[in-house]
Amino acid sequence: MRTKNHPASILVVTMMIMGIILVSALSISLVSIQERKASMGANKSNQAYQIADTGIEMVMDDIVRGNKGQVSDLTGCQSDGLIHGTDYTVELKDADENKIACNSATDIAEVVHIKSVGTASGQAQRSIEAAVAGCGNDIIKDSITYGTVRGADGKCWLDRNLGASQIATTFDDTAAYGWLFQWGRDADGHQEINSGTVAVTSDSDDPGIDSFILNTSDWRDPQNDDLWQDLEGTNNPCPSGFRLPTESEWVALVAADNITDYTTAFDSSLKLTAPGFRDRGTGDIHDPDEGGFYWSSTVFGVDTEFLEFKSNYANTGVREKRANGLSVRCIKD
């Protein structure tokens, strides 16, 4: 028997096959669109994260190396108390996680954490939090353990004078006085306040003695201006990674901490003390408990500039003969 053709049946089968193909194609397209959206969302999220990270880097650098005294000095601070950059905002926080408005009169040293929120394409947002870069770990130098402190100037300093056994509790805390150095000499024993004296100058960078050298000008003849310059300066008495501050760095610290006398010097971020100084002519200690005298690395002619403060004033840029014995507070390079 011959079988008859059924065009209608063939058409139905064809339509079914085409429907299956169309559904499959639509499904594949839908999956592709969803994957593309997910990919775009991930890209925007990554972009937002990168933008937030940029905010962290920019503000952290401004805090640590920007030489700023108060948070209101930070770049990008606006009236809402946040720091604004290109597509990011940064919030400042203290040690208790309380918000610090950047337009307030708050010392930069109070900032412990920062939170940055980045926005990509006006929609996706990511946030990052970070601790403000610390100064570093405790350091042992000449059998003394020193801590570090972030100064109001944003720089990292030792938490006490060289030779001090503790952080100061008062401006006249003798345990926090430390040693009195002749400018340019290493910690060879002469800096001890009860070291012996000798009236013989040295013609080399290492006198080879532990005595305080008496002289009207300098312990070294001829003079050497490079003894306490930078990290690699000859006879740098500071721990590794630290050096003597320049005069301009003392000026910045004094301004940031508003140091006007020995009371405000102690109240400052560095808790400076008033050990007095050792006289270059006699070896006697002058002005103990009455004045602080701190060397800088900045030379001026045959003299060197230093920070001085007493009960009713504070001065920077003062110049003194290098044979005198003054305090040393080190700064991180």
140 pLDDT band, cuts 50/70/90, is very high
> What's the predicted TM-score (pTM) here?
0.67
Q: Residue 121 to residues 39, 51, 52, 53, 124: CA-CA distances in angstroms?
A: 15, 11, 13, 16, 7
Q: What whole-number distance in Å separates Cα of residue 224 and Cα of residue 226?
A: 6
The per-residue pLDDT for 32 is 58
Going by C-alpha positions, the residue among 33, 32, 29, 11 that lies closest to residue 21 is 29
DSSP 84-106: EETTEEEEEE-TTS-EE-TTS--
- In the β-sheet with 314-321, what is the strand arrangement from edge to edge? 292-300, 303-309, 314-321
User: The tokens 């910690």 sit on which residue?
Assistant: 187
Query: Over 90: is that where the pLDDT of 65 sits?
Result: no
Decide if 109 contacts 51 (C-beta within 8 A).
no
The per-residue pLDDT for 208 is 96
295 pLDDT band, cuts 50/70/90, is very high
Decide if 142 contacts 187 (C-beta within 8 A).
yes
Q: What confidence tens digit (pLDDT) does each residue in 76-92 have?
A: 999 999 999 989 999 99
Q: What confidence tens digit (pLDDT) does each residue in 177-188 have?
A: 999 999 999 999
- Which region among 2-11, 140-149, 177-186, 219-228 has the lowest average model confidence (pLDDT)? 2-11
Domain boundaries, the chain: 1-133, 139-332
Mean pLDDT of 5-29: 65
- How many residues belong to the chain? 333
Decide if 265 contacts 250 (C-beta within 8 A).
no
